[in-house]
Amino acid sequence: MSLVQQGVHPGGPADPRPSERAAPRLRAAGLIAALLLLLVVMVLSISVGARSIPFGTVLRGLFSPDGTENAVIVRDYRLTRTLLGLAVGAGLGLAGALMQALTRNPLADPGLLGIESGASAAVVAGIGLFHVTTLAGYVWFALAGAALTAAAVYTLGTAGRSAASPIRLVLAGTAVNASLIAGISTLTFLDRDSFATLRTWSVGTLAGRSDTVLVQVTPFLLAGVVLALALAGPLNALALGDDIGSALGARPVRTRALGAVAVALLCGAATAAVGPIGFVGLIVPHAVRLVTGPDQRWLFAYCLVLSPVLLLGADVLGRILVRPDELAVGIVTAALGAPVLVALVRRRKVPQL
Protein backbone atom coordinates (compact mmCIF):
# COMPACT_ATOMS: atom_id res chain seq x y z
CA MET A 1 0.00 0.00 0.00
CA SER A 2 1.34 3.45 -0.93
CA LEU A 3 1.73 6.20 1.63
CA VAL A 4 -1.02 8.22 0.01
CA GLN A 5 -3.38 5.35 0.23
CA GLN A 6 -2.89 5.37 3.98
CA GLY A 7 -5.29 8.29 4.23
CA VAL A 8 -3.32 11.51 3.82
CA HIS A 9 -5.44 14.08 2.02
CA PRO A 10 -3.77 16.61 -0.30
CA GLY A 11 -6.19 19.32 0.73
CA GLY A 12 -5.67 18.95 4.48
CA PRO A 13 -5.57 16.42 7.29
CA ALA A 14 -6.45 12.79 6.96
CA ASP A 15 -10.12 12.18 6.27
CA PRO A 16 -10.84 8.48 6.44
CA ARG A 17 -13.83 8.34 4.12
CA PRO A 18 -15.11 4.95 3.07
CA SER A 19 -14.28 5.80 -0.54
CA GLU A 20 -10.57 6.01 0.31
CA ARG A 21 -10.66 2.33 1.19
CA ALA A 22 -12.28 1.38 -2.07
CA ALA A 23 -10.47 -1.30 -4.02
CA PRO A 24 -8.81 -0.37 -7.33
CA ARG A 25 -11.17 -2.77 -9.08
CA LEU A 26 -14.16 -0.79 -7.80
CA ARG A 27 -12.57 2.46 -8.94
CA ALA A 28 -11.94 0.99 -12.38
CA ALA A 29 -15.57 -0.10 -12.59
CA GLY A 30 -16.63 3.41 -11.60
CA LEU A 31 -14.42 4.87 -14.31
CA ILE A 32 -16.03 2.62 -16.91
CA ALA A 33 -19.48 3.74 -15.69
CA ALA A 34 -18.32 7.36 -15.99
CA LEU A 35 -17.23 6.73 -19.58
CA LEU A 36 -20.66 5.32 -20.39
CA LEU A 37 -22.29 8.37 -18.80
CA LEU A 38 -20.07 10.60 -20.93
CA LEU A 39 -21.19 8.71 -24.03
CA VAL A 40 -24.85 9.26 -23.10
CA VAL A 41 -24.33 13.00 -22.56
CA MET A 42 -22.48 13.30 -25.88
CA VAL A 43 -25.39 11.62 -27.65
CA LEU A 44 -27.79 14.07 -25.97
CA SER A 45 -25.59 17.00 -26.97
CA ILE A 46 -25.70 15.90 -30.61
CA SER A 47 -29.42 15.09 -30.55
CA VAL A 48 -30.91 18.05 -28.65
CA GLY A 49 -31.08 21.56 -30.03
CA ALA A 50 -33.28 24.47 -31.03
CA ARG A 51 -34.53 22.44 -33.99
CA SER A 52 -36.19 19.13 -33.19
CA ILE A 53 -34.57 16.45 -35.37
CA PRO A 54 -35.64 12.77 -35.18
CA PHE A 55 -32.94 10.51 -33.74
CA GLY A 56 -32.76 8.43 -36.92
CA THR A 57 -32.11 11.58 -38.95
CA VAL A 58 -29.43 12.56 -36.44
CA LEU A 59 -27.67 9.22 -36.95
CA ARG A 60 -27.87 9.52 -40.74
CA GLY A 61 -26.54 13.07 -40.59
CA LEU A 62 -23.71 11.93 -38.36
CA PHE A 63 -22.55 8.81 -40.21
CA SER A 64 -23.97 9.30 -43.73
CA PRO A 65 -24.21 13.04 -44.36
CA ASP A 66 -26.30 13.74 -47.46
CA GLY A 67 -25.94 17.52 -47.57
CA THR A 68 -29.43 18.27 -46.26
CA GLU A 69 -29.98 21.06 -43.78
CA ASN A 70 -30.46 18.62 -40.91
CA ALA A 71 -27.21 16.82 -41.77
CA VAL A 72 -25.32 20.12 -41.80
CA ILE A 73 -26.78 21.07 -38.41
CA VAL A 74 -25.85 17.72 -36.88
CA ARG A 75 -22.37 17.34 -38.32
CA ASP A 76 -21.09 20.90 -38.67
CA TYR A 77 -22.68 22.48 -35.62
CA ARG A 78 -23.75 19.99 -32.96
CA LEU A 79 -20.85 17.55 -33.41
CA THR A 80 -18.28 20.35 -33.34
CA ARG A 81 -19.98 21.88 -30.31
CA THR A 82 -19.94 18.52 -28.53
CA LEU A 83 -16.27 17.80 -29.24
CA LEU A 84 -15.32 21.30 -28.13
CA GLY A 85 -17.27 20.80 -24.89
CA LEU A 86 -15.47 17.51 -24.40
CA ALA A 87 -12.03 19.11 -24.78
CA VAL A 88 -12.76 22.27 -22.79
CA GLY A 89 -14.58 20.44 -20.00
CA ALA A 90 -11.70 17.99 -19.56
CA GLY A 91 -9.24 20.87 -19.48
CA LEU A 92 -11.14 22.93 -16.90
CA GLY A 93 -11.85 19.98 -14.61
CA LEU A 94 -8.25 18.79 -14.68
CA ALA A 95 -7.01 22.34 -14.09
CA GLY A 96 -9.22 22.60 -11.00
CA ALA A 97 -8.01 19.29 -9.58
CA LEU A 98 -4.41 20.27 -10.26
CA MET A 99 -4.81 23.68 -8.62
CA GLN A 100 -6.36 22.11 -5.51
CA ALA A 101 -3.46 19.69 -5.24
CA LEU A 102 -0.77 22.32 -5.86
CA THR A 103 -2.16 24.89 -3.40
CA ARG A 104 -3.71 22.39 -0.96
CA ASN A 105 -6.72 24.60 -1.26
CA PRO A 106 -10.09 22.84 -1.49
CA LEU A 107 -11.68 26.01 -2.90
CA ALA A 108 -9.23 26.39 -5.78
CA ASP A 109 -10.97 26.82 -9.11
CA PRO A 110 -9.77 28.53 -12.30
CA GLY A 111 -12.76 30.86 -12.23
CA LEU A 112 -12.92 31.47 -8.50
CA LEU A 113 -9.24 32.41 -8.23
CA GLY A 114 -9.45 34.77 -11.20
CA ILE A 115 -7.34 32.69 -13.61
CA GLU A 116 -10.04 32.70 -16.29
CA SER A 117 -10.63 36.43 -15.80
CA GLY A 118 -6.90 36.98 -16.26
CA ALA A 119 -7.00 35.06 -19.52
CA SER A 120 -10.12 36.98 -20.55
CA ALA A 121 -8.58 40.36 -19.71
CA ALA A 122 -5.50 39.53 -21.76
CA VAL A 123 -7.66 38.52 -24.74
CA VAL A 124 -9.73 41.69 -24.39
CA ALA A 125 -6.53 43.74 -24.29
CA GLY A 126 -5.32 41.91 -27.38
CA ILE A 127 -8.54 42.70 -29.25
CA GLY A 128 -8.98 46.27 -28.04
CA LEU A 129 -5.37 47.48 -27.96
CA PHE A 130 -3.56 45.33 -30.50
CA HIS A 131 -6.50 44.53 -32.84
CA VAL A 132 -5.98 40.78 -32.63
CA THR A 133 -8.80 39.06 -34.50
CA THR A 134 -7.75 35.41 -34.79
CA LEU A 135 -8.06 32.59 -32.31
CA ALA A 136 -4.35 31.84 -32.72
CA GLY A 137 -3.69 35.31 -31.34
CA TYR A 138 -6.28 34.88 -28.57
CA VAL A 139 -4.56 31.74 -27.33
CA TRP A 140 -1.20 33.36 -26.70
CA PHE A 141 -2.76 36.32 -24.91
CA ALA A 142 -4.93 33.97 -22.84
CA LEU A 143 -1.95 31.82 -21.82
CA ALA A 144 0.04 34.87 -20.75
CA GLY A 145 -2.93 36.33 -18.85
CA ALA A 146 -3.61 33.06 -17.04
CA ALA A 147 0.02 32.68 -15.98
CA LEU A 148 0.38 36.27 -14.76
CA THR A 149 -2.90 36.14 -12.83
CA ALA A 150 -1.96 32.85 -11.14
CA ALA A 151 1.32 34.38 -10.01
CA ALA A 152 -0.41 37.55 -8.75
CA VAL A 153 -3.09 35.66 -6.79
CA TYR A 154 -0.57 33.34 -5.19
CA THR A 155 1.69 36.27 -4.24
CA LEU A 156 -1.19 38.21 -2.68
CA GLY A 157 -2.60 35.15 -0.93
CA THR A 158 0.69 34.22 0.69
CA ALA A 159 1.92 37.73 1.52
CA GLY A 160 2.34 38.74 5.15
CA ARG A 161 3.45 36.95 8.26
CA SER A 162 0.52 34.64 8.78
CA ALA A 163 0.37 31.37 6.93
CA ALA A 164 -1.47 31.04 3.64
CA SER A 165 -4.96 29.61 3.89
CA PRO A 166 -7.68 28.61 1.43
CA ILE A 167 -9.79 31.59 2.44
CA ARG A 168 -6.90 34.04 1.94
CA LEU A 169 -6.27 32.68 -1.53
CA VAL A 170 -9.96 32.91 -2.38
CA LEU A 171 -10.11 36.50 -1.11
CA ALA A 172 -7.01 37.37 -3.13
CA GLY A 173 -8.55 35.71 -6.18
CA THR A 174 -11.82 37.57 -5.64
CA ALA A 175 -10.01 40.91 -5.42
CA VAL A 176 -7.96 40.24 -8.53
CA ASN A 177 -11.04 38.91 -10.32
CA ALA A 178 -13.03 42.08 -9.54
CA SER A 179 -10.19 44.30 -10.73
CA LEU A 180 -9.86 42.37 -13.95
CA ILE A 181 -13.60 42.46 -14.63
CA ALA A 182 -13.55 46.24 -14.14
CA GLY A 183 -10.64 46.49 -16.57
CA ILE A 184 -12.44 44.31 -19.11
CA SER A 185 -15.58 46.45 -18.87
CA THR A 186 -13.57 49.64 -19.34
CA LEU A 187 -11.80 48.34 -22.43
CA THR A 188 -15.00 47.10 -24.00
CA PHE A 189 -16.72 50.47 -23.59
CA LEU A 190 -13.70 52.35 -24.93
CA ASP A 191 -13.58 50.27 -28.11
CA ARG A 192 -17.07 50.02 -29.60
CA ASP A 193 -15.86 48.28 -32.74
CA SER A 194 -14.69 45.33 -30.68
CA PHE A 195 -17.64 45.38 -28.31
CA ALA A 196 -19.86 43.00 -30.29
CA THR A 197 -17.11 40.38 -30.51
CA LEU A 198 -16.23 40.74 -26.86
CA ARG A 199 -19.87 40.55 -25.76
CA THR A 200 -20.41 37.15 -27.36
CA TRP A 201 -17.00 35.78 -26.40
CA SER A 202 -16.90 36.89 -22.75
CA VAL A 203 -20.14 35.13 -21.70
CA GLY A 204 -18.70 31.64 -21.92
CA THR A 205 -20.52 29.56 -24.50
CA LEU A 206 -19.98 26.57 -26.77
CA ALA A 207 -22.38 27.91 -29.39
CA GLY A 208 -21.10 29.39 -32.62
CA ARG A 209 -17.57 27.98 -32.40
CA SER A 210 -16.22 26.45 -35.59
CA ASP A 211 -14.11 23.33 -35.96
CA THR A 212 -11.14 25.66 -36.55
CA VAL A 213 -11.38 26.70 -32.91
CA LEU A 214 -11.24 23.07 -31.83
CA VAL A 215 -8.23 22.33 -34.01
CA GLN A 216 -6.30 25.36 -32.80
CA VAL A 217 -6.75 24.86 -29.04
CA THR A 218 -6.44 21.06 -28.96
CA PRO A 219 -2.58 20.98 -29.01
CA PHE A 220 -2.42 23.30 -26.00
CA LEU A 221 -5.04 21.31 -24.10
CA LEU A 222 -3.30 18.02 -24.89
CA ALA A 223 0.05 19.41 -23.72
CA GLY A 224 -1.56 20.53 -20.47
CA VAL A 225 -3.28 17.18 -19.94
CA VAL A 226 -0.09 15.17 -20.54
CA LEU A 227 1.90 17.41 -18.22
CA ALA A 228 -0.75 17.24 -15.49
CA LEU A 229 -1.00 13.45 -15.66
CA ALA A 230 2.78 13.17 -15.42
CA LEU A 231 2.65 15.13 -12.15
CA ALA A 232 0.10 12.87 -10.45
CA GLY A 233 2.77 10.68 -8.83
CA PRO A 234 4.93 13.55 -7.50
CA LEU A 235 1.81 15.31 -6.18
CA ASN A 236 0.87 12.16 -4.28
CA ALA A 237 4.30 12.21 -2.66
CA LEU A 238 4.18 15.94 -1.88
CA ALA A 239 0.78 15.48 -0.21
CA LEU A 240 2.77 13.95 2.65
CA GLY A 241 4.79 17.16 3.04
CA ASP A 242 7.77 18.56 1.19
CA ASP A 243 10.36 16.76 3.33
CA ILE A 244 8.80 13.32 2.99
CA GLY A 245 7.98 13.99 -0.65
CA SER A 246 11.59 14.90 -1.38
CA ALA A 247 12.72 11.74 0.40
CA LEU A 248 10.41 9.76 -1.89
CA GLY A 249 11.99 11.31 -4.98
CA ALA A 250 9.60 14.19 -5.72
CA ARG A 251 11.04 17.64 -6.41
CA PRO A 252 8.72 20.25 -4.88
CA VAL A 253 9.91 23.31 -6.82
CA ARG A 254 9.97 21.55 -10.18
CA THR A 255 6.60 19.90 -9.55
CA ARG A 256 4.91 23.17 -8.64
CA ALA A 257 6.51 25.05 -11.55
CA LEU A 258 5.42 22.42 -14.06
CA GLY A 259 1.99 22.32 -12.42
CA ALA A 260 1.65 26.09 -12.91
CA VAL A 261 2.58 25.66 -16.58
CA ALA A 262 -0.05 22.94 -16.98
CA VAL A 263 -2.74 25.13 -15.34
CA ALA A 264 -1.85 28.05 -17.62
CA LEU A 265 -2.05 25.80 -20.71
CA LEU A 266 -5.38 24.26 -19.72
CA CYS A 267 -7.09 27.46 -18.54
CA GLY A 268 -5.62 29.68 -21.23
CA ALA A 269 -6.58 27.41 -24.12
CA ALA A 270 -10.06 26.69 -22.71
CA THR A 271 -10.81 30.36 -22.11
CA ALA A 272 -9.50 31.41 -25.51
CA ALA A 273 -11.83 28.87 -27.15
CA VAL A 274 -15.13 29.44 -25.35
CA GLY A 275 -14.68 32.36 -22.94
CA PRO A 276 -14.68 32.14 -19.14
CA ILE A 277 -16.67 29.25 -17.63
CA GLY A 278 -16.59 28.93 -13.87
CA PHE A 279 -17.13 26.22 -11.26
CA VAL A 280 -16.40 23.16 -13.44
CA GLY A 281 -12.96 22.90 -11.84
CA LEU A 282 -14.49 23.26 -8.38
CA ILE A 283 -17.50 20.95 -8.51
CA VAL A 284 -16.08 17.93 -10.31
CA PRO A 285 -12.89 17.32 -8.26
CA HIS A 286 -14.87 17.49 -5.01
CA ALA A 287 -17.50 15.08 -6.26
CA VAL A 288 -14.85 12.75 -7.68
CA ARG A 289 -12.83 12.74 -4.47
CA LEU A 290 -15.78 11.11 -2.69
CA VAL A 291 -15.19 8.08 -4.92
CA THR A 292 -11.45 8.04 -5.54
CA GLY A 293 -10.09 9.41 -2.27
CA PRO A 294 -6.92 11.53 -2.37
CA ASP A 295 -4.96 9.51 -4.95
CA GLN A 296 -4.24 12.04 -7.71
CA ARG A 297 -3.88 9.35 -10.38
CA TRP A 298 -7.48 8.23 -10.03
CA LEU A 299 -8.70 11.76 -9.31
CA PHE A 300 -7.22 13.12 -12.55
CA ALA A 301 -8.56 10.21 -14.59
CA TYR A 302 -12.09 10.65 -13.23
CA CYS A 303 -11.97 14.44 -13.73
CA LEU A 304 -10.98 13.98 -17.37
CA VAL A 305 -14.17 11.97 -17.92
CA LEU A 306 -16.72 13.61 -15.62
CA SER A 307 -15.85 17.28 -16.21
CA PRO A 308 -17.08 17.09 -19.84
CA VAL A 309 -20.20 15.37 -18.49
CA LEU A 310 -20.94 18.43 -16.36
CA LEU A 311 -20.11 20.94 -19.07
CA LEU A 312 -22.04 19.18 -21.85
CA GLY A 313 -24.94 18.43 -19.49
CA ALA A 314 -25.12 22.13 -18.54
CA ASP A 315 -24.98 23.06 -22.22
CA VAL A 316 -27.87 20.72 -23.06
CA LEU A 317 -29.82 22.08 -20.08
CA GLY A 318 -29.27 25.62 -21.36
CA ARG A 319 -30.75 24.64 -24.72
CA ILE A 320 -33.89 23.17 -23.12
CA LEU A 321 -34.74 25.71 -20.41
CA VAL A 322 -35.50 28.73 -22.61
CA ARG A 323 -36.42 27.19 -25.96
CA PRO A 324 -36.30 28.31 -28.71
CA ASP A 325 -33.49 30.52 -27.34
CA GLU A 326 -30.51 29.27 -25.35
CA LEU A 327 -28.78 30.03 -22.08
CA ALA A 328 -24.99 30.23 -22.34
CA VAL A 329 -23.31 27.31 -20.63
CA GLY A 330 -21.27 29.70 -18.46
CA ILE A 331 -24.51 30.98 -16.91
CA VAL A 332 -25.79 27.46 -16.21
CA THR A 333 -22.53 26.29 -14.58
CA ALA A 334 -22.52 29.42 -12.42
CA ALA A 335 -26.07 28.68 -11.26
CA LEU A 336 -25.07 25.10 -10.43
CA GLY A 337 -21.74 25.96 -8.84
CA ALA A 338 -22.72 28.78 -6.49
CA PRO A 339 -24.65 26.54 -4.03
CA VAL A 340 -21.75 24.07 -4.05
CA LEU A 341 -19.31 26.82 -3.12
CA VAL A 342 -21.55 28.00 -0.27
CA ALA A 343 -21.83 24.44 1.03
CA LEU A 344 -18.06 23.94 0.92
CA VAL A 345 -17.36 27.17 2.79
CA ARG A 346 -20.00 26.43 5.44
CA ARG A 347 -18.67 22.92 5.97
CA ARG A 348 -15.19 24.25 6.71
CA LYS A 349 -16.58 26.99 9.02
CA VAL A 350 -14.31 29.72 7.52
CA PRO A 351 -12.02 29.96 10.59
CA GLN A 352 -10.27 33.14 9.40
CA LEU A 353 -13.57 35.02 9.10
Average pLDDT over residues 70-75: 87
Q: What does the DSSP assignment read for 64-117?
A: S--S-HHHHIIIIIIHHHHHHHHHHHHHHHHHHHHHHHHHT-TT--TTTTTHHH
Which of the given ranges, 32-36, 98-102, 166-170, 345-349, has the highest pLDDT on average? 32-36
Lowest mean pLDDT among 29-33, 158-162, 226-230, 318-322: 158-162
Q: What is the pLDDT of residues 3-41, one digit of tens each?
A: 444 444 444 444 555 555 557 788 889 999 999 999 999
Q: What is the pLDDT of residues 234-282, one digit of tens each?
A: 988 888 877 887 887 778 888 888 888 898 889 888 888 888 888 888 8
Average pLDDT over residues 132-140: 74
At residue 275, the pLDDT reads: 82
**Model confidence at 286, in pLDDT bands (50, 70, 90)?**
confident
At residue 195, the pLDDT reads: 64
At residue 222, the pLDDT reads: 94
At residue 12, the pLDDT reads: 45
Average pLDDT over residues 144-171: 71
Determine the Cα–Cα distance for residues 119 and 253; give it in Å rounded to an integer.
Answer: 24
**Model confidence at 203, in pLDDT bands (50, 70, 90)?**
confident
Which of the given ranges, 14-18, 155-159, 304-308, has the highest pLDDT on average? 304-308
At residue 201, the pLDDT reads: 64
Average pLDDT over residues 308-317: 93
Greatest C-alpha distance within the chain: 67
At residue 197, the pLDDT reads: 63
Q: How far is CA 41 from CA 91, 93, 160, in A?
A: 17, 16, 46
Determine the Cα–Cα distance for residues 84 and 153; give it in Å rounded to an integer.
Answer: 28
Average pLDDT over residues 72-78: 88
At residue 351, the pLDDT reads: 42
At residue 237, the pLDDT reads: 87
Q: CA 19 from chain center: how many Å?
A: 24
Model pTM greater than 0.85?
A: no
Identify the H or E element spanning 240: none
Of residues 249 and 300, which shows the higher confidence score? Answer: 300
Of residues 3 and 215, which shows the higher confidence score? Answer: 215
Q: CA 263 from chain center: how many Å?
A: 9
Residues in CB range of 333: below 8 A, 6 or more apart:
204, 277, 278, 279, 280, 310, 311, 314
